[in-house]
Amino acid sequence: MSSPVQSLPNSEHPGGEILPPARILITGASGLLGRSVAAHLAELGYQVTTFQRSPSSLETVRDIRGSLTDPQAVQAAVEGQDAIIHMAAKVSVSGRREEFEQVNILGTERIFNAAWAAGVQHVLYVSSPSVAHGGSSLVGAPAAAADPEKAQGHYAQTKAEAELIAEARGSAGTSVLIMRPHLVWGPGDGQLTARIVDRARSGRLPVLGSGAPLVDTLYIRNAVEAFAAGLRRLPLIAAEQPVAGRRLVVTNGEPRPIGELLAGIAEAGGAPRPRFRVPASLAAAAGSVIEKLWAVTGPHEDEPPMTRFLAEQLSTAHWFDQRHTQQVLQWRPRISIDQGLAELAAHVQRTGGVL
Amino acid sequence: MVIFRPIPAAAARSPFDVLESTPLPGLDPQWSRVVTARTEDGERGFHVLDTAEALAQRGITPTGTILAVHGNPTWSYLWRGVIAASLEQARPGHAWRVIAPDQLDMGFSERLAHPEPPSAGAPSYRRLEQRLGDLDALMDALDVDAELPLVTLGHDWGGIISLGWAVRHQQAVDAAVCLNTAVDHPSGEPVPPALRAAMAPGVLAGSTVVTDAFLRVTLALAEGGLSDDVAAAYRAPYVSHLGRGGIGGFVADIPALAAHRSRGVLEEISAGLSRWSKPALLIWGPKDPVFRDRYLQDLMERIPHADLHRFEGAGHLVSEDRDVAGVLFDWLGQQFDAAAQPSASPAPAAEVAGLHQQLETMSLSWRRDRPAAVDMSSDGAPAVLTWAQLSEQVEALAAGLHSLGVRSGDRVSLLVPPGNSLTVVLYACLRLGAVAVVADAGLGVRGMTRAVRSARPDWIIGARPGLTLARTMSWPGRRISTEPLPPHQARLLGTVASVERLRRGADPRALQELPHPEPEHPAAVLFTSGSTGPAKGVVYTHRRLGALVALLRHQFAVKPGASLIAGFAPFALLGPAIGATSVTPRMSVTKPSTLTAEAVAAAAAAGEATMFFGSPAALRNVVATADRLSVAQREDLGRIRLVLSAGAPVHPRLLDQVQEIFPAAEIHTPYGMTEGLLQADIRREQIHEAMKTSQPGVCVGRPVAGVRFALAPLQADGTSAADLVEPEQAGGALSEIVVSAAHLKAGYDRLWHTDWTSRRDTRDGLLWHRTGDVGHIDDAGRLWIQGRLQHVITTAAGPVGPGAVETPVDELDQVARSAAVGVGPVGAQAVVVILEPAEGRRLRDGRSPLARPEVAQAVRAAAGEVSVSAVLVVDWLPTDIRHNSKIDRTALAAWAEKVLAGERVSAP
């Protein structure tokens, strides 16, 4: 059998790096992270195509609209690319398991199948630290292997399955790098940042327990640069690192107490600091009740206000050893948390909101 | 009623062949073999752990042999850590083969038939003599290269047997190593109660063979408790009573009575040991209810040249409690491989005189009727001793102590509060060559008890509170009271004499016959503050204390006739040796923070003092109470020309306040440690100057005369490099401070491994001391300290000394003091700062441990380049008792780790 893997023209990756003007497909560019990465890569001179259901509203990239559940659309998007950044996923804490499986597991398989068929050699798979851990504290943790048994909630479980698929493909011909950004925030982020600010404004943002657990986060601009570094160095990392070394948790490397982070983001967003405290155990109990209520009363537009998983996330430590990540990416976060908060505050003052 | 049923014989077997469901964690099947040996009563099967095959497989030829003998009721499993370590270290040209047999009737070796229950006369059980013969037979059966060094290793009964075997084979055995054991039990003395219970004739068989009581009790002696797997492995050969015959046999063979059949052999061994001239090492767990410290003492008396490492806090199963293998192999390396350790020191600052010389000179000079010691520690008028009186009292007491039996080399624990009587007792001891053990009350009762037990004094001289403590806590040593006691009290406290009577009753002329102690004789054992683990005993010789005296005189221009107020004990005790008047001010010894400005002024007036030595806590209180000073008192303090703050670094802000109280004084903060009391020195003005350079840590100045510094740069994992560099070569890198000087410690007391570790450097053929302090030396040659080596925070960006963060954070108005600790894994730790608020400041909301965001922000800004993850607030930072200034960062780190993982915890 002749290899379907084509080698890239040498000019595009001297020394094994993927450099502009290589052709890059980014799936899931409607979210802040995907859109920002796409825009940044285009700025660097890469030829960027994005693939998602809604338009990316970026002028510097080529949009292909389609769904991960549609094999033909996927194949068409993948064709002719040099590398893929697979970011699209169903991200929420509620919903039916089948929907998660369709997008997160089967969608990932389709991407890899299409890449193989089209001879696209390099895939950067975007995952989440939650694929490897349950509710226990993570203290300076390494990037452990994905484990669907340990992961909690449909999102993390299906992402864990998908990451195992990506990892397997990485040992079977495709060069794969897995990056797990942890809690991305910043101006324009509707998922975490805007919700924290909204809730704080309406006085509905509690501090769970002591608010002391250390949590790692990742400022959006650092995230974008980390992904650019990951893409550029993907062939080298995939070739040189053992399986465990190709999984990278990416954070600012500045763990902070969760209570302090929430207060900082709320204040940067012009909202008061959260004042009232809820015992962590109570929040976890309430979370599981609300989860069930949400399930039987759904479908809902919004996420449930509290889940058991979220309660545990907010009351245990989650921070990571960043030495390996920074070393193989040859990347350092340039914006500190405090600088990021200042940027966020300036953005909110200028535009009137987080988004 | 327990019923003994006869035990049949059974062959030896490998545990890996017979055990089905019991894992043996730490044991490799490759080590296990069954050996047949021709013993005095025929061929017997022994199960042996032997690394010959494991070494052969790696192509390594052993260069030495260790014969390891277990005790009762353990088996060769006891030595798995030693075996594993031996293989880990083995390399071509350097490898110890370890042979660890199971004794007959024990472990997985052959079981003898026992028709009768064990008792002292029961013939079917092995006796000591036979067990020695068994070892002969076994060593014959094993192919041991007789040309190579041979070392014996034993524990418990295996200690007696291995030492006995070594004594009988003096020519072949090159060194003997032993863990908790005893080679002598005076037949008149009672057996330790823990063992007596098992030995009672009606109980013996029941507790050892029929039931597993003795086994269970022994395994419970591991201090941290054994894991279930390990305990099961120890029990594995003894689960059935059919396997336990040997346990009873061993207990029955304890020759507690003079008529016991093994008594003769035991006496042969203990006598032989007294003639043992080869290297010996004892590794001891003091919390052993059977082999208590007096057996250690007996062993040390028999083998005075033995090295001893006493693991404070470890128990009978010391090899389960601590890294015994680490000590063993470092020691073997030193004995068989290393070049001789250097013992030279740089030349002392000035000529060294005997510690007595100045006292004698002063008492014969025109100053003979001037005060030598002024004691204001009790109510009423100051108690004054002139030089003549002090000299006379010292000589009289020395003569009295000698007549009582105190000899050169005896250890004398001093439980006397600072004041004139302590001075007299100390110098009397020094005159005799007796070694003063100074365990100060600053260690707390538990710390003092540990310290005194570890030093094992022959005598205790104390005031009533000290003696009561000694009595209650059963400290070793014959007791002497400072004051004469009424007979009933003397009986109650168990004293044999009083200082008063000894001094009055003795003929000082007897002293003329007695030589002065040699410079290399030990003079004193001082104790570290214990803020970083159990207090360690530090031994000083006469020469090294003399060098310290010479240095003090040189550095601070203390001339004979000067007078010093002693708010800091170690220097105060040296007053008579310096030739300076020492004034003990009124303060509580255990709480230096009780020293008031008025008490200092009173001391200054009474003693016409020109110098004041204090600890930081004392200085703080002097400043705090300065507003009560009268005009006259201020004048008295105005005559002080030197203030010395010792014990811990102080902030120059405090020194500025001190300067206001002592306007004429030069204010110095010397840097040193119990192991070397004065290493560097700096004046208040120089601190201010140094601080302008904004370097991390606290500037402690330049080395004093006769002190050489070298640096061991820190590595990413927070340990210090093996090789030393000169200060100029380190380029300001964070390093462990290493020092060499004539007035350093002679060594740590009974802590062979700690001592060896601290003095392992050999640069320039000098004796060095690893201080455990970290810091850097700047271009101007100034030393900056950033904390202790074990408190270094290993961040991803490199190691950080706590002081690099604490010094600038302490500058913040709202902060009284701070501690920087690391949480998380080595090499990727997050920096956490814990604040003690300045008085009246609230730095947190409600009961939250988190600092308010604006406080955290201020701390982060102060910390500069070091990235601070979290800022926590507590009401009080835990500190040591002695100085009330050394923050317990280890406890704080453990606390912060929990808090920051979301656990609910109370204050540290």
B171: Cβ contacts below 8 Å, ≥ 6 apart: none
DSSP string for residues in B280-343: EEEEE-SB-SSS-HHHHHHHHHHSTT-EEEE-TT-BSSHHHHS-HHHHHHHHHHHHHTSPPPP-
Residue B818 parent element (H or E): strand B815-823
Alpha-carbon distance of A207 to A182, in angstroms, equals 20
Question: Which residues in chain B have Cβ-Cβ distances shorter than 8 Å to A137?
Answer: 901-902
pLDDT tens digit string along B824-883? 999 999 999 999 999 999 999 888 899 998 999 999 999 999 999 999 999 999 886 665
Q: Find the DSSP H helices in B511-630.
A: 542-556, 569-572, 575-578, 597-607, 616-624
The alpha carbon of residue A348 is apart from the nearest alpha carbon of chain B, in Å, by 20
Q: Does A140 touch chain B (CB under 8 A)?
A: yes
Say if the Cβ atoms of B870 and A263 lie within 8 Å. Answer: no
Among B62, B222, B228, residue whose Cα is nearest residue B142: B62
Q: What is the CA radius of gyration of chain A?
A: 20
pTM of the model: 0.85
Alpha-carbon distance of B735 to B4, in angstroms, equals 65
Computed over every residue of chain B, the mean pLDDT equals: 91
**Cα distances (Å, whole numbers) of residue B691 to B50, B598, B698, B699, B812:** 61, 32, 8, 8, 15
Joined together, the tokens standing for residue A263 give 């207060």
Supply the DSSP symbol for B808: H
Q: What is the ipTM of this complex?
A: 0.89
When divided into structural domains, chain A yields a total of: 1
Residue B150 parent element (H or E): strand B150-154
pLDDT at B500: 92
Instruction: Compute φ and ψ for A2, nearest 5 degrees.
Output: -80, 145
Q: What is the mean pLDDT of residues B561-577?
A: 82
* Whether B403 contacts B451, CB under 8 Å: no
Q: Find the DSSP H helices in chain A.
A: 32-44, 71-78, 97-100, 107-118, 153-170, 193-201, 220-240, 258-268, 280-297, 308-315, 323-329, 337-351
Say if the Cβ atoms of B825 and A273 lie within 8 Å. Answer: no
Query: Is residue A191 domain-resident?
Result: no
Judged by average pLDDT, the poorest of A117-131, A308-322, A325-339, B112-126 is: A308-322
% of chain B residues with pLDDT over 70: 98
Alpha-carbon distance of B220 to B146, in angstroms, equals 39
Say if the Cβ atoms of B850 and A321 lie within 8 Å. Answer: no
DSSP string for residues in B17-32: HH-SS---TT--GGGE
B804: Cβ contacts below 8 Å, ≥ 6 apart: B696, B697, B786, B820, B866
pLDDT tens digit string along A68-105? 999 999 999 999 999 999 999 988 767 789 999 999 99
Closest Cβ opposite residue B902 in set A213, A336, A338: A213
Distance of CA B590 to the CA centre of its chain: 21
Q: Using 50, 70 and 90 to split pLDDT, how confident is the model at A307?
A: low
Question: Which residues in chain B have Cβ-Cβ distances shorter than 8 Å to A213?
Answer: 900-902
Query: Is residue A298 domain-resident?
Result: no
Q: Does A137 touch chain B (CB under 8 A)?
A: yes
* The pLDDT of residue A286 is above 60: yes
Query: Is residue A202 domain-resident?
Result: no
Relative to beta strand B698-703, strand B783-788 is antiparallel
Residues of A that are catalytic: 155
pLDDT tens digit string along A29-67? 888 999 999 999 999 999 999 999 888 888 999 999 999
How many residues are given for chain A? Answer: 355
Q: Any idea which residue has 């206001």 for tokens?
A: B660
pLDDT tens digit string along B34-78? 999 999 999 999 999 999 999 999 999 999 999 999 999 999 999
Q: What is the mean pLDDT of residues B411-431?
A: 93
More reliable by pLDDT, A86 or B615: A86
Of the residues A139, A273, A323, the best mutation for testing chain B's interface (the one with the most B CB atoms within 10 Å of its CB) is A139
Alpha-carbon distance of B542 to B528, in angstroms, equals 19
In a 10 Å sphere around its CB, with 0-12 CB exposed, 13-18 middle and 19+ buried, how is residue B34 labelled?
A: middle
* The pLDDT of residue B331 is above 60: yes
Alpha-carbon distance of B745 to B545, in angstroms, equals 9
* The pLDDT of residue B738 is above 90: yes
Nearest residue of A to residue B832 by CA position?
A: A256
Question: Which residues in chain A have Cβ-Cβ distances shorter than 8 Å to B872?
Answer: 212
pLDDT at B196: 76
Q: Does A99 touch chain B (CB under 8 A)?
A: no
pLDDT at B350: 87
Alpha-carbon distance of A172 to A161, in angstroms, equals 17
Alpha-carbon distance of A11 to B732, in angstroms, equals 45
Alpha-carbon distance of B616 to B619, in angstroms, equals 5
pLDDT at A8: 44
Q: Using 50, 70 and 90 to split pLDDT, how confident is the model at A4?
A: very low
pLDDT at B522: 96
In a 10 Å sphere around its CB, with 0-12 CB exposed, 13-18 middle and 19+ buried, how is residue B366 labelled?
A: exposed
A110: Cβ contacts below 8 Å, ≥ 6 apart: A68, A71, A74
Chain B residues whose C-beta is within 8 A of a chain A C-beta are 796, 823-825, 827-830, 846, 848-850, 853, 856-857, 860, 867, 869-870, 872, 897, 899-902, 904
**Cα distances (Å, whole numbers) of residue A49 to A60, A126, B354:** 9, 17, 89
Relative to beta strand B611-614, strand B563-567 is parallel
Instruction: Examine residue A299 and say whether the peptide bond preceding it is cis (omega within 30 degrees of 0).
Output: yes
Closest Cβ opposite residue A253 in set B796, B856, B897: B796
pLDDT tens digit string along B653-673? 899 999 999 999 999 999 999
The alpha carbon of residue B716 is apart from the nearest alpha carbon of chain A, in Å, by 12
The type of residue at A234 is L
Say if the Cβ atoms of B902 and A255 lie within 8 Å. Answer: no
**Cα distances (Å, whole numbers) of residue A85 to A37, A92, A125, B663, B766:** 9, 20, 6, 73, 62
Query: Is residue A154 domain-resident?
Result: yes
Judged by average pLDDT, the poorest of B304-318, B329-343, B351-365, B691-705 is: B329-343
pLDDT tens digit string along A220-242? 999 999 999 999 999 999 999 99
Q: Where are the beta strands (DSSP E) in B15-111?
A: 32-39, 42-50, 64-69, 96-101
Q: Does A269 touch chain B (CB under 8 A)?
A: no
- Give the dihedral sign, CA B837/B841/B846/B852: negative
Distance between start and end Cα atoms, chain A: 51
pLDDT at B881: 62
Among A320, A318, A293, residue whose Cα is nearest residue A308: A293
* The pLDDT of residue B368 is above 60: yes
* Whether B786 contacts B709, CB under 8 Å: no
pLDDT tens digit string along B209-268? 888 888 888 888 888 789 999 999 999 999 999 999 999 999 898 887 777 888 899 999
Among B19, B198, B225, residue whose Cα is nearest residue B107: B19
Among B191, B174, B154, residue whose Cα is nearest residue B65: B174
**Cα distances (Å, whole numbers) of residue A121 to A17, A72, A175, A233, B890:** 13, 19, 6, 13, 51
* HSE toward the beta carbon, residue A225, CA cutoff 13 A: 14
Q: Using 50, 70 and 90 to split pLDDT, how confident is the model at B605?
A: very high
Alpha-carbon distance of B186 to B266, in angstroms, equals 11
Q: Does A45 touch chain B (CB under 8 A)?
A: no
pLDDT at B615: 86
Question: Which of B508-522, B612-626, B740-754 is modeled with the greatest confidence?
Answer: B740-754
Residue B707 bridge partners (DSSP): B741
In a 10 Å sphere around its CB, with 0-12 CB exposed, 13-18 middle and 19+ buried, how is residue B186 labelled?
A: exposed
* Whether A132 contacts A144, CB under 8 Å: yes
* Whether A196 contacts A263, CB under 8 Å: no
Judged by average pLDDT, the poorest of B20-24, B457-461, B818-822 is: B20-24
Among B695, B720, B723, B715, residue whose Cα is nearest residue B771: B720
Alpha-carbon distance of B737 to B724, in angstroms, equals 10
* All domains in chain B, ordered by first residue: 15-336 (3.40.50.1820), 386-517 (3.40.50.980), 794-908 (3.30.300.30)
**Chains A, B: CB pairs < 8 Å:** 90
Residue B168 parent element (H or E): helix B157-168
% of chain B residues with pLDDT over 90: 71
Alpha-carbon distance of B754 to B675, in angstroms, equals 12
Angle at B584 between CA B578 and CA B589, to 5 degrees: 115
DSSP string for residues in B469-527: HHHHTT-SSEEEESS---HHHHHHHTEEEEHHHHHHH--GGGGGGSPPPPTTSEEEEEE
* The pLDDT of residue A9 is above 50: no
Domain carrying residue A150: 15-186+217-254+320-335
Alpha-carbon distance of B148 to B62, in angstroms, equals 8
Closest Cβ opposite residue A254 in set B853, B869, B899: B869
Q: Using 50, 70 and 90 to split pLDDT, how confident is the model at A14?
A: very low
In a 10 Å sphere around its CB, with 0-12 CB exposed, 13-18 middle and 19+ buried, how is residue B529 labelled?
A: buried
Joined together, the tokens standing for residue B592 give 């230096």
Edge to edge, the sheet with strand A62-65 lists A62-65, A47-52, A23-27, A83-86, A122-126, A175-181, A247-250
Q: What is the mean pLDDT of residues A194-212?
A: 84
Edge to edge, the sheet with strand B522-527 lists B495-498, B478-481, B459-462, B411-415, B435-438, B522-527, B537-541, B747-748
* Whether B55 contacts B90, CB under 8 Å: yes
pLDDT at A12: 44
Alpha-carbon distance of B697 to B777, in angstroms, equals 11
Query: Is residue A275 domain-resident?
Result: no
- Which CATH number is A98's domain given? 3.40.50.720
pLDDT at B165: 97
Query: Is residue A328 domain-resident?
Result: yes
pLDDT at A1: 34
Joined together, the tokens standing for residue B388 give 């003549």
Instruction: Compute φ and ψ for B541, nearest 5 degrees.
Output: -90, 170
